[in-house]
Amino acid sequence: MDEIDKLKGIFDGLCKSAVNIFHNEEEVAPFIFIFPRDGGTVPVILIKEDKDLVSRFVQHICHKVRAIAGAIVAEAWAVTLNKDAKWDGTPPSKRLDRVEILQVSLFSKSINKMKTWRIKRDGETKSLEEYFGEESPDRVETRFFGDYFRADS
């Protein structure tokens, strides 16, 4: 099995786990996973709201363990813009047209994958519906991993 197939398998496993946790708990605590070159997994539990501090820590660990990939599993806010629309810089959490999602993203130098589910609320009950997913060689920078997984770095 080559590295891309291995990463796709990890991504599929994270997606299944995230959906199962959501169905059992009706929420998913945010996690970051770092996958060292020598094997294993380094989980990072986000207990601080200081995203810049968490980002610096995650990038430090990626360098230290020579990570081949990193993943994020979290609930988040998302906004979909029309093709010709320009983003005005307002964070999704502050926009009225936002939707709540469950997101699983995997980043590496060779493959980037993202899958999201829209969180639907019906009174006290939450459910998931498919939202979108993509595989992209172009995503090279994220808040938590910075440009660590850029293909040309």
pLDDT in tens, 23-55: 999 889 999 999 999 999 999 987 767 788 888
Residues of the chain with pLDDT under 70: 48, 133-142, 151-153
* Pairwise CA distance, residues 127 & 121, whole Å: 7
Decide if 107 is inside a domain.
yes
Q: Which residue type occupies 146?
A: G
Number of domains the chain is built from: 1
Distance of CA 91 to the CA centre of its chain: 17
Q: What is the pLDDT of residue 26?
A: 87
Decide if 146 is inside a domain.
no
- pTM of the predicted protein model: 0.84
Q: What is the pLDDT of residue 140?
A: 42
Q: What is the pLDDT of residue 147?
A: 73
Q: What is the pLDDT of residue 22?
A: 94
Domain, as residue range, for 13: 3-135
Q: What is the pLDDT of residue 23?
A: 92
Decide if 130 is inside a domain.
yes
